[in-house]
Amino acid sequence: MKKDSSLLAWGLLFPTLLVLGCFVIYPALQSFVLSFQDVEPFSKQSFFIGFENYMVLFRSPDYWQSLRVTFFFLVMTVIPSLLLSLAIAITLDANPFFQNFLRTLFLLPVAISSSMAAMLWIFIYNPTAGFLNYILDVMGIQGPNWLADPDYALVAIAVATVWKEIGFNIIFFLAGLTAIPTELKEAAELDGASPRQRLFYVVLPLLSPTLFFVSVVSVINSLQSFGQIHILTAGGPMGESTTLVYNLYRDAFVKFRTGLASSEAVVLFILIMGATVFQFRMAKKRVHYG
């Protein structure tokens, strides 16, 4: 009987383990190995070169630029999208008129992929015929050529990204807010707490697990952004929107520098893990589960 069930178990697990082995575990280890190798682009012959790829990487000003770009992009997407979606979710939860309609509207971008979101914004940013510069013009401001200006390209991508991401965050915040018992808010109100006090001492602490989850996911998503960058600027102008992932894509699949790109993949993996672990550490002090 027991032997029977263990045979069945391995049988049921077989497709899962086969696919994970082939397409997740093997390639993850292989990336690590390749990062210590020099791979010839055409013959695919490879030679062990130790830490050479990593040295090249960290000596390259372009790579440092992409680290900086990735960090700015992270700050410009995660913080605004968290604050805006939290504010919108709290207001939506306060039972406004047309609540269902408004909720649908805010959640809608969830159904739109990052590349399609980029297509929606691309014409808005058009320097001559786009609506954004028209509005700025009406206000007497000369708008830049958003996507071609090194100072503004990354901001423009970040705005389109935030536009797309907040719907996803609002879903979680709304779920978290509905889970807060109304009696708690009412009790605080009866005790004479002002709306602000209720927000900061009742609602936000109870929402902190959701806030934590959403921020972890947002950071990971931001670090992995690709589609909108590829559509809007293709990493330009002058590398000012080349993030780590974009750099990796170009090194691996445009320049065919397999070994170097693999070392970038390893660094990216460490950074994502590091950011996640860091947030878990921070959360230990501040998140209230209860």
Reference 161, options 238, 69, 73, 54; nearest CA is: 73
Prior bond to 237 cis, omega within 30? Answer: yes
Tokens 């209720």 belong to which residue? 198
Task: State in angstroms the smallest separation of the CB of 288 from another protein.
Answer: 15
Q: Which residues pair with 49 in a beta bridge?
A: none
- Comparing CB distances to another protein, the nearer of 44 and 59 is 44
* 203/267 Cα distance (integer angstroms): 38
Task: State in angstroms the smallest separation of the CB of 104 from another protein.
Answer: 6
Task: State in angstroms the smallest separation of the CB of 182 from another protein.
Answer: 13
Which DSSP letter does residue 96 get? -
- Comparing CB distances to another protein, the nearer of 50 and 98 is 98
Task: State in angstroms the smallest separation of the CB of 68 from another protein.
Answer: 19
- Comparing CB distances to another protein, the nearer of 6 and 142 is 6
Buried b / exposed e over 47-67, threshold 16 CB at 10 Å, is: eeeeebbbeebeeeeebeebb
Measured in degrees and rounded to the nearest 5, phi and psi for residue 256 equal: 55, 35
Task: State in angstroms the smallest separation of the CB of 5 from another protein.
Answer: 5
- Comparing CB distances to another protein, the nearer of 46 and 65 is 46
Task: State in angstroms the smallest separation of the CB of 239 from another protein.
Answer: 19
81's CB contacts (< 8 A; 6+ apart) are 161, 162, 165, 166, 169, 218
- Comparing CB distances to another protein, the nearer of 72 and 230 is 230
Helix (H, G, I), strand (E, B) or coil at 37: strand
The beta-strand segments (E) located in the chain are 37-39, 46-48
